[in-house]
């Protein structure tokens, strides 16, 4: 049932839930892998339990789940039941990759840890994604991607210098670790293709997030300086920040580093007299007088719409962007041209928009092909066709609470 794509011959058994793990398998599914998503009706994925289409609750009506699980197959399997574990191992036998995102002891408790699965299939690839990795003094820590930005050092440099650290508005590290997990799985698949050997991938979401503030650690190790919050400013840039524009809650971003960019900005603003002052003659001077400089730039930007500033400065060679909200993202011409958002027809919620990843392969483009599965939608195919079970066998396991 897998769509054609670069990974059309790969099968993934996916026990992961919430965001980080499902983002990995979403990427694999969009490029042709047959991903079998394992759930149970007693403990459905948390994403099935929030943000419903038209605010109408239902396990098959959650648009978040629909977005991060497109292209996958869905089965219900109770691995708290011994027969459920047996069935899981039978599925491992016919799979290439196993994924999970529980705390480290969970898969060991079920007998589904990597060492156990290697006995079932020696060349299996397994990815474990959790908060802080499978080993170490804090490996068992409970939590989620909403608290990890603080542990990863991201919150310390987010916000204003005279205020407390600011959160990043969501599970930031889920979104950074997902693509990293997909890349790690691809590396393991290449390794297996070359050597015939499987591999275990221990993915720490915390460390995946730290990657994006690596320069702060380098600043400390190289210069014994601990970087902290500085609002929208950035060392070596001026002006650099978010500036008000014409309209309600309308903003643009401008980031000037080189002398050429500064001169281009001055020309785009009409060579204002204030820009000729000695306080703005060099980058170092502009940084030193950043507050006054930002006030001047703001006075210019607030007379124009974000798009007008964006188009004018981009044409002049000045790095500039618009601050877009969700509605504006949906109508953005660049994203439309790239077909970043794809509309799929979901049996419960109707038209459902899902997003692609930010890369396209020329020979095997990939992309969303099939809506996210309903709860247990593909039980008959997976247990019947793939495992060869009869209808009577499946019915009996349903009665016993195994396929449930």
Cα dihedral 87, 184, 365, 344 sign: positive
Sort residue 247 into left (φ over 0), alpha (ψ -120 to 50) or beta: left
Q: How far is CA 323 from the centre of its chain?
A: 20
Half-sphere exposure of 170 (CA within 13 A, CB side): 7
The CA distance from 68 to 378, in Å, is 17
Out of 174, 332, 355, 392, which one is annotated catalytic? 174
CA distances from 125 to 48, 121, 249, 252, 303 (A): 27, 9, 48, 45, 57
CA angle 239, 304, 333 (to 5 degrees): 95
The Cβ of residue 360 has, within 10 Å, a number of other Cβ atoms equal to 12
Q: Report the distance separating Cα 399 and Cα 404, nearest Å.
A: 9
Asked if 353 and 55 touch (Cβ cutoff 8 Å), the reply is: no
DSSP assignment of 147-205: THHHHTTTGGGSS-TTS-----SS-HHHHHHHHHHHHHHHHHHHHHHHHS--EEEEEEH
In angstroms, what CA-CA distances link 254 with 129, 237, 238, 356?
37, 10, 9, 27
Residue 54 a catalytic site member: no
Alpha helices in 77-171 (DSSP H): 82-93, 104-110, 114-120, 148-151
Q: Calculate the CA dihedral of residues 68, 74, 78, 83 and round it to 10 degrees.
A: -140
Q: Phi and psi for 336 in degrees, rounded to 5?
A: -65, -45
From CA 293, how far away is CA 369, in angstroms rounded? 49
CA distance 175 to 56: 27
DSSP 8-state symbol, 344: E
What are the catalytic residues? Answer: 174
């Amino acid at each position: 049932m897998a769509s054609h794509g670069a990974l059309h011959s790969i099968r993934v058994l996916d026990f992961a839930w919430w965001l980080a793990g499902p983002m990995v398998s979403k990427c694999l599914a969009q490029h042709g892998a047959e991903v079998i998503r394992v759930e149970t009706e007693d403990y459905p994925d948390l994403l099935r339990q929030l943000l419903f289409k038209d605010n109408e609750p239902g396990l098959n009506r959650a648009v978040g789940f629909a977005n991060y699980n497109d292209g996958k197959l869905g089965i219900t399997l109770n691995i708290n039941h011994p027969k459920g574990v047996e069935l899981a191992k039978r599925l491992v036998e016919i799979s290439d990759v196993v994924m999970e995102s529980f705390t480290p002891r969970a898969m060991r408790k079920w007998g589904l840890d990597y060492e156990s699965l290697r006995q079932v299939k020696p060349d299996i690839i397994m990815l474990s994604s959790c908060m802080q990795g499978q080993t170490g003094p804090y490996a068992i820590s409970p939590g989620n991607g909403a608290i990890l930005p603080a542990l990863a050092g991201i919150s310390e440099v987010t916000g204003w210098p005279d205020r407390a650290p600011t959160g990043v508005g969501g599970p930031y590290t889920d979104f950074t670790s997902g693509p990293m997990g997909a890349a790690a799985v691809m590396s393991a698949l290449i390794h297996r293709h070359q050597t015939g050997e499987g591999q275990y991938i221990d993915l720490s979401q915390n460390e995946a997030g730290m990657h994006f503030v690596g320069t702060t650690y380098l600043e400390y190790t190289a210069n014994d300086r601990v970087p902290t919050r500085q609002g929208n400013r950035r060392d070596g840039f001026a002006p650099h920040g978010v500036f008000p524009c014409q309209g309600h809650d309308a903003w643009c971003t401008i980031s000037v580093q080189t002398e050429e960019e500064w001169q281009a900005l001055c020309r785009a603003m009409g060579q204002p007299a204030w820009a000729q002052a000695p306080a703005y003659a060099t980058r170092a001077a502009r940084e030193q007088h950043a507050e006054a400089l930002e006030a001047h730039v703001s006075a210019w930007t607030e007379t124009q719409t974000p798009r007008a500033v964006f188009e004018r400065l981009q044409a002049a060679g000045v790095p500039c962007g618009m601050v877009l909200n969700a509605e504006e993202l949906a109508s953005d011409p660049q994203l439309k041209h790239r077909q970043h958002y794809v509309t799929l027809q979901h049996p419960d919620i109707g038209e459902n928009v899902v997003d692609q990843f930010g890369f396209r392969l020329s020979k095997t483009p990939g992309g969303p092909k099939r809506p996210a599965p309903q709860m247990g939608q593909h039980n008959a195919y997976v247990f019947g066709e793939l495992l060869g079970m009869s209808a009577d066998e499946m019915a009996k396991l349903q009665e016993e609470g195994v396929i449930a």
